[in-house]
A and B are shown apart, each in its own frame.
Chain A
Amino acid sequence: MNIISLTPSDLSIAALLIVALSFLSIRMNLGMTRQIIVAGLRTTIQLLLIGFVLKTLFSHVHIGWITLISFFMLMVAGREVMIRQKRRFSGWWGFGVGTLSMSVSSFSITILALTVIINIRPWYEPQYAVPLLGMLLGNTMSGISIGLDRLTQTAYDQRAIIEARLMLGHEWTRAIENIRKESIKSGMIPIINSMTVAGLVSLPGMMTGQILGGNPPMEAVKYQILIMFLIAGGTGFGTMAAVWLGSRRLFDERQRLRLDRLKNAN
Chain B
Amino acid sequence: MNGLKIENLYFHTIGPVSLSVAKSECVGIMGPSGAGKTLFLRAIADMDPHTGKIFLNGTESAQISGHQWRRQVGLLPAESSWWLDTVGEHFDKNINKKWLSAVGFDADVAKWEISRLSSGERQRLALLRLLANRPECLLLDEPTANLDPENITRVEKFLETYQRENKPSVIWVSHDSEQLSRISTRCFILKNKSLIINHKSQITNEHHFPDTV
Task: Tell me the A residues contacting B by CB distance below 8 Å.
Answer: 158, 160-161, 163-172, 178, 252-257
- Shortest Cβ distance from residue B152 to the other chain A in the assembled complex, whole angstroms: 23
Total number of residue pairs linking A and B with CB closer than 8 Å: 61
- B residues contacting the other copy or chain, number (CB 8 A): 24
Binds A, one of B9-17, B46-54, B175-183, B184-192: B46-54
- Which residues in window 129-176 of B have CB below 8 A to A? 129-130, 133
Chain B residue at smallest Cβ distance from A169: B71
Q: How far is the CA of A231 from the CA of B109 in the complex (A)?
A: 48
Binds A, one of B72-80, B94-102, B205-213: B72-80
Which A residues are CB-close (under 8 A) to B75?
Answer: 167
Instruction: Assess whether A167 is in contact with B83, with CB atoms less than 8 Å apart.
Output: no
Instruction: Assess whether A166 is in contact with B47, with CB atoms less than 8 Å apart.
Output: yes
Q: How far is the CA of A171 from the CA of B65 in the complex (A)?
A: 9
Given contacts A164-B82, A254-B65, A254-B66, 5 further A-B contacts (CB under 8 A): A164-B83, A167-B76, A168-B133, A169-B67, A178-B83
Which A residues are CB-close (under 8 A) to B65?
Answer: 254-255
Q: How far is the CA of A93 from the CA of B132 in the complex (A)?
A: 38
Partner of B47, one of A158, A167, A178, A253: A167
Q: How far is the CA of A256 from the CA of B75 in the complex (A)?
A: 14
Q: How far is the CA of A257 from the CA of B66 in the complex (A)?
A: 11
Q: Say if the beta carbon of B68 comes within 8 Å of chain A.
A: yes
Most chain B CB inside 10 Å of its own CB: which residue of A164, A167, A253, A255: A167
Q: How far is the CA of A216 from the CA of B59 in the complex (A)?
A: 73
Partner of A163, one of B47, B68, B82: B47
Q: Say if the beta carbon of B81 comes within 8 Å of chain A.
A: yes
Instruction: Assess whether A256 is in contact with B47, with CB atoms less than 8 Å apart.
Output: yes
Which B residues are CB-close (under 8 A) to A169?
Answer: 67-68, 70-72, 74, 133
Q: How far is the CA of A198 from the CA of B163 in the complex (A)?
A: 65
16 CB-based A-B contacts, threshold 8 Å:
A160-B79, A163-B47, A163-B77, A165-B81, A166-B47, A166-B70, A167-B70, A167-B76, A167-B130, A168-B70, A169-B67, A169-B72, A170-B67, A171-B67, A255-B65, A256-B46
Chain B residue at smallest Cβ distance from A256: B47
| A166-B47, A256-B47 known; A161+B68 contact, CB < 8 A | no
